[in-house]
Structures are given as C-alpha cells and as structure tokens.
Structure 1
Amino acid sequence: MGTIKLARRGQVLEATLEHPGKANAIDRAMLAKLDELVERVQADSGIRVLVLRGTPGGSFSAGADVRDWAPLSPEEFGRDWIAQGNRIFRRFEQLRCPTVAAIEGACFGGGLELALCADLRLASEPARFRFPETGIGAIPGWEGGPRLARIAGRGRALEAVLTGRELDAATALQWGLVNAVHPAERFAAALAALVEQLCAVSPRAAALAKQAIVGEHESESFHARAGREIKASADAETGLRAFFDKRPARF
C-alpha cells in the first residue's frame, strides 16, 4: 500500500509519492492521501507553494497500480477508480496556490496524468514520460489525454496516447509538457530557485491569476470581478507602494 509523505518548510509544502517496490505506482490509498492533501492546502493559507515529487533522483510514478484496479468490476472501476480519481485530480488542479511537479525519473500512465494537473513541471535530464495504457487494453482515464492536448496540441497528445511512445526530457520540453529541464546534479538548486520565485509574488494575485487560467468561468465577467477583488486587497497596496518606491514588494 502506498502513501504520500508531507514535509512543511516555511511557506512550502512538499508532498512525496511513496510506494516502495512499485516505483510509486498510485493505488487507492494514495488517492485518498491526495484528497487529504488538497483539504490541508485549502485550509492553510500559509502554504504558498506545493511541490509534488517522487523518489529523489528516481521514479516520479510508474502509473496507476494495475494490481489494485484489475480485480474491480467494470461498474466499480468506472465509479470508484476513474470517477473518484478524476474528482480528486480536478480538485488538485484547481488548488489556490501554485503547484510544481518535480520529475526526476519515470513518469508514466496515471503518474503522468497527475503531473499534468500541476501548474508547472520541472524535469531532470533522466526523466521519461509515457502513456502505456492502450497497450494493455486501457485508456488514460484520469483525463491525461485532454490535458496533454491542451498543453502540447491534439496531434501530439494522440501520438503519445495511441502509440505509447516514450518521451525523453528534451522531447518533453520541446512539446511543452515540461517547463524546464536541468542536469540531475543541478536539479535541486533549480527547483529551490523556482519555488523561491513563486513564494515572492502576491499570494492573492497568484490565486486569482491561476483561477483565470485553470478555472471554468465566463472570462470577461470573471476578470472584472477578480480585478476589483485584487485592487481592493492589501497585496495590491503593498505592490503599488513598492513599485512607486522602486523596490521589490514583500508579500
């Protein structure tokens, strides 16, 4: 049975996928932990950034745990695995704070689907990406195909899903699947620098800007409403004062 270990470092919460012996394959216990993680972040406004990672220097996740879902009936599979998983994944995708998937090794199947729910994906050079599902008579059921299509385009998403092609980190960067690739020996420093950048911005502005991009809403009315809200906030006052004083804002 897998789990997700949490470590709080100041304004940053690090969540590590752990399923020893299974390359962090996602099972039902881990889905439940992911749901609990979402609740914790939503309840704690002091968390400014969430980092999701796998084994340091190793696998992010080999995918969904086939031995966990294979015995399910079609009805149970659709209801308890696919629908429930998608509910949790959507909640994770729409978290108010920035989320970063730190990927250092295999990121396959359901693990890739989870990584695609993060706002940003940082990869080390050994990272690999693949949707193997159609090769075993399954599909990426946690909406990984549509998410990849929005990021990389329909043709590339279809290629990845229908052929099961494995992508190296350089190709993933070319496709836009990841935001940056770093040598393994510089990965930790690059991740720390990115997290520091994300912690430096206005948390309220970040939440509204993310909602504008990720959320489902009528864009024109949302942007007007969000603009009024942020303009009336203490963050806007802090940012404008710093701008006119010609110094960095501290939120």
Structure 2
Amino acid sequence: MEYNNLLTDFEDGITTITINRPKKLNALNKETIQELHDAFKEADEDSATRVIVITGSGDKAFVAGADISEFADYSVAQGADLASQGQALLFDFVAHLSTPVIAAINGFALGGGLELAMAAHIRVASENAKMGLPEVSLGVIPGYGGTQRLPQLVGKGRAMEMIMTAGMITADQALDFGLVNHVTTSDELFLWIDKLAKRIKQNSPAAIGSAIEAVNAGFEDGENGFDAEITLFGKCFGTADFQEGTQAFLNKRKPDFKGN
C-alpha cells in the first residue's frame, strides 16, 4: 500500500513504519492517523511480520505533536469526537495489537507523539530525545490516552507534574521514570532496536499475542487481569506453537514457531 505521510519497510520479520512529515516535525494530522491505522493493520495481519517498529523521519522528531491547525476552531462536540475517533482508530488500536510494537523515539515526542509512543508495547529512546505532554499550555488536555497511560507508566505524581507543567523531560529522566525501557546513542538506536526485535521474534507469536492481551487486561476497567491470564494460559495449550515449543525443548532443538 502507498502512503502520503508514511514510509514502510519489511526486513527479516520486522516491519518499520516511519512517519514522514519532516517539515512538520512529523506532526499527526487526520490523514496521517488514518494511514498509521492502515499500516499497523496491514503489518499485524501479515504473518511474516513478527515485530513492528514505529519511528519518525529525520533526526529531530519522533512526532512533535498533533497538527493544531486542524482543530483550532473545533466545538465541544467536535473536540470529543476527535479524541474518541483518534483513540479508537490508532492509539487503543496499537496498544491492543497482537504483534509487539516498539517505538523508536529519535527526537521530540510531544503531545500526540508521546501518546503514540506510550501506546506501543516497548519504548527505546535516543539520548537526544525530549518527551512531554504540553497540551495544558494550549488550554486543552491530552486527548489520545495521555492522562491514562502516563500515570500507568510513571506513577500518578510524576504524571500530574508532567501534565500540569507542560514541560519536557530528557531521555535519561524518562528512563529513570520508567517511561522508556532503554536509552541509546542516536547512532545506535536502530541497531539496538534490531537486536531487541530479533530476540522477541524468535519466540512464539501466538504466546506473545496472548501475553499482550493478558497484560492489557490488568489495566482495563471491569477486567480481572488474573482471570484473563488463566483463560489465555489455558488457550495456549491448544496452539500449534505450544506443541512445537514443548517438543523442541524436549528434543533439544530450536523451535520453528508459525504463530498459530
């Protein structure tokens, strides 16, 4: 599929999606959000893709926020629809994909950009990255899941401070807060992520998808994460990946997982 605002690449089981709006610092507009949904959906449905990497073009920004010009004159109802549709189409969609998603934060990740990174399952930042939710400085609040996912990752107090000050934190602070998993040099970012992705993709795609679902269940209203884990654990016993994994272990060979 061809995109106006994205570049996609597939190599050795890893699909990389690059937001390609460098003149706008890769800001998210409606078209880009729709294209991201389509690209993630296509990669998730491709059995050859074991890991998805999301990043931004250039060396300045992952995503520097939303395209404010698109909604500056919105009404109350339009604002609510913007958040509802965006969360369903992209941010919640990414968080619940069965294919693991790694965010390669290669610069500014602000507003919707940080919210996109937080929707990913793992975050790796280059040392020049800066992260924040500056929405209150514009008279609005984060609307793509930021008020929910940030406290889950860094705790309520730190999330409140980041949101209320509208300030940015460095990559090292983000690592200390637990907002990112790892920090690398700019030159090593994608080499490091490639190594991480290769470690992930040698494991069972079916089991990884179930693990993502179980972890997410613990953060969902009305869901009991322990019950979800029990159910999903049991379902694993009915997969070909479970049979392959156990037989490979017993026969002292490397497993050949197919993802079913």
TM-score in terms of structure 2 length: 0.90
Once the two structures are TM-superposed, the CA of residue 42 in structure 1 deviates from its matched residue by 4.0
User: Identity, % of aligned pairs?
Assistant: 32
Does 1:239 pair with 2:240? no
Query: C-alpha distance in 2, partners of 1:147/1:219?
Result: 17
Match of 1:82 in 2: 83
SS in 1 for 2:24: coil
Could you list the per-position Cα deviations for residues 22-64 of structure 1 after superposition, in whole angstroms to 9, with x for gaps in the alignment? 1001001111112212431343233211110002433101101
Query: C-alpha distance in 2, partners of 1:3/1:72?
Result: 24
Could you list the per-position Cα deviations for residues 170-221 of structure 1 after superposition, in whole angstroms to 9, with x for gaps in the alignment? 0000000000001122222101101101111100000001100013443343
Greater shift, 135-144 or 93-102, is seen at 135-144
Could you list the per-position Cα deviations for residues 69-111 of structure 1 after superposition, in whole angstroms to 9, with x for gaps in the alignment? 11323322221x2111111211111001100000111111110
Match of 2:66 in 1: 64
| One-letter amino acid matched to 1:29 | E
Which residue of the other structure, out of 214, 219, 235, is the alignment partner of 1:229?
235
Which residue of the other structure, out of 169, 174, 177, is the alignment partner of 1:175?
177
Query: C-alpha distance in 2, partners of 1:40/1:159?
Result: 37
Q: How many residues align?
A: 250
Q: Is the CA contact (8 Å cut-off) linking 2:245 and 2:255 kept in structure 1?
A: yes
Could you list the per-position Cα deviations for residues 102-150 of structure 1 after superposition, in whole angstroms to 9, with x for gaps in the alignment? 0111111110011100000011111110111111111111111210100
Q: Gapped runs of 5+ residues in structure 1?
A: none
Query: C-alpha distance in 2, partners of 1:57/1:191?
Result: 16
Q: Is the CA contact (8 Å cut-off) linking 1:2 and 1:19 kept in structure 2?
A: no
Match of 2:125 in 1: 123
Once the two structures are TM-superposed, the CA of residue 2 in structure 1 deviates from its matched residue by 6.5
Q: Gapped runs of 5+ residues in structure 2?
A: none
Match of 2:36 in 1: 34
Once the two structures are TM-superposed, the CA of residue 250 in structure 1 deviates from its matched residue by 3.2
Once the two structures are TM-superposed, the CA of residue 228 in structure 1 deviates from its matched residue by 2.2
